[in-house]
C-alpha cells in the first residue's frame, strides 16, 4: 500500500474534513472499492490515493494531470499524446497511465512519475474506450471502426491480441473479475435492427452490449437492451400506424423509444448501468417525442436486460417552468462507493443529475409525478458539454470532464441527502482557441451543435436555465448526429422515411481554391462546393436548419432579426445569425471523417489489398463515378448562390429537382414509405428520385439508402437498378465475386482515398 503514504508535501492539511476522510476510513473505502472488482472506460480518471486526476483533451491531442488531493485543484502538467485522445486508465499502483488515441489508432503509455510517454502501441482503427482489468494486469481497448477488441499485457506493455467481436461500433467498456479471468462488457454505440422490425418504428431497433469472456477459452455473446413501450409522452397521431394528426391537436398516441448512443457502461453491485439517448423516430415529429434521455440497466447474474429502463425526462414536465430543464443526452454515470447514489452526466444541458438506487438496484431521479408534487430532482451545473465523471474514494468529490469548455469541474457530493450539490471549482485542462480566430468560430459552432440550451431567449421555454436551441433544453444536434455523424436511425420526417446523414461530407475537404467565408466565418456558396442537403434536396444552406431548431427541437431559434425564416426561397439564411453561421463553420471544418478499418495502421505498409485495387477498377468500369465522383464522392453540389431562382431551378414539393436521381431505391409499397401532410398521411417523397449521397467513409453509415432498407453494402450492391445506373442500365456487376471486391473497395474509402474525377 505504498501509494497511501503521504509525505509532507502530499498532506491534505486543514481541508481534511472538507474534502477527504481519515487515513483509516480512506483505507476502508479503498478496500471496499477494490472488492467491487469492476472498472470502466472514461475520459477522466483518478489515482487510487485520490491525489491526481488525469483527463483527456480530444481537441488538443493531450492529456492533463490535475492535483486534487486536499482540494488543491491545480493543473500540474499537460502531456502530448496521439491525435484525438478519448479514454484514460490508471494502473492500481498509479505508476502507468494508458490513453486511447482515436484518430491515430494507438494507445499511449505514460510514466506517471516522469509524465513522459514511454511507448505507443498501434491497435485497431479508431480506438475509443479503454479499461483495465480490476487487478491491472490487462488493458482492454474497444476499436470503434474495426469492430475489434485489443488486449494489452500491462506488465510488458505488449499487444497480446486483437480480436473481432460480435456486433458493430464498440465504444465503451466495463470490466469485472470472475473465477479464471475477466468479463468485459462492451457497448455497441448505435442501436441495431430488431428481427422483423420496421425501420422508423419506435421499437424497430434495440441497444446491444457484447459480453467478452476472457477466460481459459474466450467467448462472446450479445445482450439486447429492449425498447421501452411507453416514454410517458404522447403524440398527435402515428405515421406508421396510419393515424393522421388531429386538428386541433389531440395528444393521445403512446410513444416508445429504443436505447441508442451507448457511450458509457458502469457496474455497481449486480447491475450494469448504461446512460444513453433513446430514439423515438415515428412521426409526426414533435420536440418531446423524438428523443429521450434514458438510463438502461443489465442484470449481471443473468446477463439480460432488467426491463427497468428509466426515462430521465419523464416527470420533468411537471417542474415549474422557471426551473424546468430536461435531462438531455445522458452520456456517462458514476456511483458512490459507500452509498446507493450516483450522478449521470447530461452532455447537452451542462448538468449532473442525481440518481438513487433502491435495494434491488432500480434507479430513480425522484421526478415529480404531477404538478402538485414537490420537486425531487437534484442537479448541479458544471462546464460546457460534460462527457465524463469520476468520484473519489471518500465519496466527497466528483470530477467532471467538460469537453467544450476544456476544463474539469470539482463538485461537492459529500452531503448525499442534501437538497443542493455545489460546483466548488473549475480547472482549465487545455487551451481554448484564441478569441477572434476561425478556430474560435468553429469551436463556438461545436458548442452550439452539442448543446440543447444555447444563448438565452425571450420565451418562457427559452429563458435560463433553458435557451434558444430547444424547448426547455429538450434536444440537440448531437442527439441525431453524434460527433457530427449518424445515429443510424431512420426518422419518419415530413418527406418520408429518412436515414440520418453523416455530416463529414457536407462540404468539400480541404476547402477548394477560391473558397470564401463571410464575416462570421461561415463558408459561402457556391465557392465552398457544399452538397445539396437532405435526401430529397430540400435545403441548400446549413443555416436552413434553423427550421429544425424551431420545428424538431421546439426552440426559439438563433435568427433574431424579426424577419420570416424560410427554406430555399425567397431569401437566404446565411449571414442572419453569427451563431448559426458558426454551426455552419463547424459542420464544414470541424467534423472528421471516420477512418476505414482497411486503412493500414502504419502508412505505406502492408501492401494494398489486391481485392481493393480490383474493386476500384470495377467501380470505374461501372461508371459509379458519374454519381459518386469528385473530391466529395458525390455529384451533388450547390453550384448557385442561394436563394435558388426560378428559372433555372425547378422546385417541386420543396425539392430541388435537378439534384434528384432515380436509382431504384424507392418502393412506394413499403410499409414505411409514408409521410404526414396536415391531417392526412400520404405516400412519401421519392418518385422523383433522391439526392446523391457521398461515399466518403460510407463503411460507417449503415443502414443505407434513404429509408435504411439496405442493412449492409452487400445489400446495396444487390440492387440491380442502382448498380447499373452509371452504365445506362447495363449490369456489369452481375458477378457476386465482382460485387464482393467492389464492396471491399467501398469499405476502404475514407479521407485518404484518392477520389475519381
Run of H or E including 119:
strand 116-122
Look at residues 555, 571, 593 and tell me which one is the last residue of a structural domain: 593
Look at residues 129, 149, 164 and tell me which one is the last residue of a structural domain: 164
CATH number of the domain within which 458 lies: 1.10.760
Give the distance, in angstroms, between the CA of residue 712 and the centroid of all CA atoms in the same chain.
Answer: 21
Asked if residues 258 and 204 have their Cβ atoms less than 8 Å apart, the reply is yes
**Helix/strand/coil (H/E/C) assignment for every residue in 347-388:** CCCCEEEEEEECCCCCEECCCCCCCCCCCCCCEEECCCCEEE
548 domain-assigned? yes
Number of domains in the chain: 2
Cell of 687: 418518385
For the whole model, what pTM was predicted?
Answer: 0.94
Three-state DSSP at 228 gives strand
521 domain-assigned? yes
Q: Which residues of the chain have pLDDT under 50?
A: 1-36, 417
Asked if residues 487 and 261 have their Cβ atoms less than 8 Å apart, the reply is yes
pLDDT for the residue numbered 16: 33
Name the residue with cell 430488431.
194
613 domain-assigned? no
Each residue's pLDDT tens digit, 191-213? 999 988 999 999 999 999 999 99
- CA-CA distances (angstroms) from residue 127 to 57, 312, 399, 694? 15, 29, 24, 24
CATH number of the domain within which 158 lies: 2.130.10.10
684 domain-assigned? no
426 domain-assigned? no
Cell of 372: 402538485
Cell of 647: 428559372
pLDDT for the residue numbered 646: 81
pLDDT for the residue numbered 34: 44
Q: What are phi and psi of 325, to 5 degrees?
A: -155, 120
289 domain-assigned? no
Q: Beta strand pairing status for 52-57 and 44-46? A: antiparallel
101 domain-assigned? yes
- What distance in Å separates the CA atoms of residue 92 and residue 112, rounded to the nearest whole number? 12
pLDDT for the residue numbered 604: 54
pLDDT for the residue numbered 647: 85
pLDDT for the residue numbered 606: 60
- Tell me the chain's radius of gyration from C-alpha atoms: 25
Instruction: Tell me the residue range of the domain where 525 lies.
Output: 433-593
Look at residues 562, 593, 624 and tell me which one is the last residue of a structural domain: 593
**Helix/strand/coil (H/E/C) assignment for every residue in 1-56:** CHHHCCCCCCCCHHHHHHHCCCHHHHHHHHHHHHHHCEEECCCEEECCCCCEEEEE
pLDDT for the residue numbered 419: 62
- What distance in Å separates the CA atoms of residue 305 and residue 298, rounded to the nearest whole number? 5
Asked if residues 487 and 497 have their Cβ atoms less than 8 Å apart, the reply is no
Q: Report angle CA 298, 301, 304 to the nearest 5 degrees.
A: 40
337 domain-assigned? no
Amino acid at each position: 500500500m505504498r501509494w497511501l503514504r503521504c509525505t509532507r508535501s502530499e498532506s491534505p492539511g486543514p481541508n481534511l474534513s472538507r474534502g477527504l476522510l481519515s487515513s483509516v476510513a480512506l483505507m476502508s473505502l479503498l478496500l471496499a472499492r477494490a472488492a467491487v472488482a469492476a472498472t470502466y472506460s472514461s475520459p477522466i480518471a483518478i489515482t487510487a490515493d485520490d491525489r491526481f486526476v488525469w483527463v483527456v483533451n480530444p481537441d488538443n491531442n493531450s492529456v492533463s494531470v490535475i492535483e486534487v488531493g486536499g482540494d488543491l485543484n491545480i493543473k500540474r502538467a499537460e502531456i502530448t499524446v496521439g491525435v484525438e485522445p478519448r479514454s484514460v486508465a490508471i494502473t492500481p499502483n498509479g505508476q502507468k497511465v494508458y490513453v486511447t488515441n482515436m484518430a491515430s489508432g494507438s494507445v499511449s503509455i505514460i510514466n506517471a512519475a516522469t509524465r513522459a510517454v514511454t511507448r505507443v502501441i498501434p491497435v485497431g482503427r479508431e480506438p475509443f474506450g479503454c479499461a483495465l482489468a480490476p487487478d491491472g494486469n490487462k488493458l482492454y481497448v474497444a476499436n470503434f471502426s474495426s469492430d475489434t477488441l485489443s488486449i494489452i499485457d500491462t506488465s510488458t506493455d505488449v499487444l497480446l491480441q486483437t480480436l473481432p467481436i460480435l456486433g458493430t461500433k464498440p465504444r465503451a467498456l466495463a470490466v469485472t473479475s470472475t473465477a479464471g479471468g475477466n468479463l468485459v462488457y462492451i457497448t455497441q454505440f448505435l442501436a441495431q435492427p430488431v428481427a422483423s422490425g420496421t425501420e422508423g418504428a419506435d421499437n424497430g431497433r434495440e441497444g446491444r452490449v457484447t459480453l467478452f469472456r476472457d477466460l481459459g477459452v474466450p467467448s462472446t455473446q450479445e445482450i439486447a437492451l429492449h425498447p421501452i413501450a411507453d416514454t410517458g409522452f404522447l403524440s398527435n397521431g402515428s405515421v406508421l400506424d396510419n393515424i393522421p394528426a388531429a386538428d386541433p391537436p389531440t395528444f393521445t398516441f403512446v410513444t416508445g423509444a429504443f436505447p441508442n448512443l451507448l457511450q458509457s457502461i458502469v457496474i455497481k453491485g449486480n447491475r450494469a448501468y448504461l446512460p444513453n439517448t433513446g430514439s423515438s423516430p415515428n412521426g409526426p415529429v414533435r420536440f418531446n417525442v423524438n428523443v429521450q434521455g434514458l438510463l438502461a440497466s443489465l442484470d449481471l447474474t443473468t446477463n439480460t436486460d432488467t426491463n427497468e429502463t428509466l426515462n430521465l425526462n419523464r416527470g420533468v414536465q411537471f417542474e415549474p417552468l422557471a426551473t424546468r430543464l430536461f435531462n438531455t443526452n445522458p452520456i456517462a454515470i458514476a456511483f458512490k462507493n459507500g452509498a446507493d447514489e450516483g450522478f449521470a452526466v447530461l452532455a447537452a444541458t451542462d448538468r449532473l443529475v442525481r440518481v438513487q438506487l433502491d435495494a434491488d438496484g432500480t434507479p430513480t431521479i425522484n421526478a415529480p409525478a404531477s404538478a402538485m408534487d414537490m420537486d425531487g430532482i437534484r442537479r448541479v451545473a458544471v462546464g460546457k458539454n460534460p462527457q465524463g465523471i469520476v468520484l473519489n474514494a471518500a465519496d466527497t468529490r466528483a470530477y467532471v470532464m467538460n469537453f467544450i469548455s476544456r476544463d474539469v469541474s470539482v463538485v461537492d457530493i459529500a452531503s448525499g441527502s442534501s437538497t443542493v450539490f455545489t460546483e466548488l471549482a473549475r480547472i482549465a485542462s487545455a487551451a481554448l482557441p484564441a478569441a477572434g480566430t476561425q478556430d474560435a468560430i468553429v469551436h463556438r459552432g461545436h458548442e452550439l451543435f452539442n448543446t440543447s440550451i444555447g444563448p438565452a431567449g425571450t420565451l418562457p421555454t427559452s429563458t435560463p436555465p433553458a435557451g434558444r436551441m430547444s424547448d426547455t433544453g429538450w434536444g440537440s444536434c448531437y442527439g441525431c448526429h453524434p460527433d457530427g455523424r449518424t445515429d443510424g436511425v431512420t426518422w419518419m420526417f415530413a418527406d418520408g422515411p429518412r436515414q440520418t446523414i453523416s455530416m463529414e461530407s457536407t462540404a468539400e475537404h480541404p476547402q477548394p481554391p477560391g473558397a470564401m467565408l463571410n464575416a462570421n466565418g461561415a463558408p459561402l456558396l457556391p465557392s465552398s462546393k457544399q452538397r445539396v442537403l437532405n435526401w430529397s434536396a430540400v435545403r441548400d444552406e446549413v443555416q436552413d436548419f434553423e427550421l429544425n431548431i424551431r420545428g424538431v427541437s421546439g426552440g426559439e431559434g438563433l435568427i433574431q432579426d424579426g424577419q420570416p425564416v424560410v427554406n430555399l426561397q425567397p431569401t437566404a439564411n446565411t449571414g442572419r445569425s453569427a451563431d448559426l453561421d458558426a454551426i455552419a463553420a463547424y459542420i464544414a471544418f470541424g467534423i472528421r471523417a471516420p477512418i476505414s478499418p482497411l486503412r493500414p495502421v502504419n502508412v505505406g505498409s502492408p501492401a494494398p489489398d489486391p481485392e481493393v485495387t480490383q474493386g476500384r477498377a470495377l467501380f470505374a468500369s461501372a461508371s459509379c463515378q458519374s454519381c459518386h465522383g469528385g473530391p466529395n464522392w458525390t455529384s451533388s453540389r450547390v453550384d448557385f448562390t442561394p436563394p435558388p431562382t426560378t428559372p433555372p431551378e425547378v422546385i417541386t414539393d420543396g425539392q430541388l429537382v435537378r439534384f434528384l436521381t432515380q436509382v431504384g431505391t424507392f418502393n412506394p409499397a413499403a410499409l414505411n414509405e409514408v409521410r404526414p401532410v396536415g391531417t392526412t398521411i400520404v405516400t412519401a417523397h421519392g418518385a422523383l428520385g433522391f439526392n446523391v449521397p457521398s461515399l466518403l467513409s460510407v463503411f460507417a453509415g449503415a443502414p443505407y439508402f434513404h429509408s435504411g432498407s439496405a442493412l449492409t453494402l452487400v445489400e446495396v450492391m444487390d440492387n440491380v437498378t442502382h448498380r447499373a445506373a452509371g452504365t445506362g442500365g447495363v449490369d456489369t456487376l452481375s458477378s457476386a465475386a465482382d460485387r464482393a471486391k467492389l464492396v471491399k473497395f467501398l469499405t476502404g474509402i475514407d479521407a485518404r482515398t484518392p477520389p475519381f474525377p
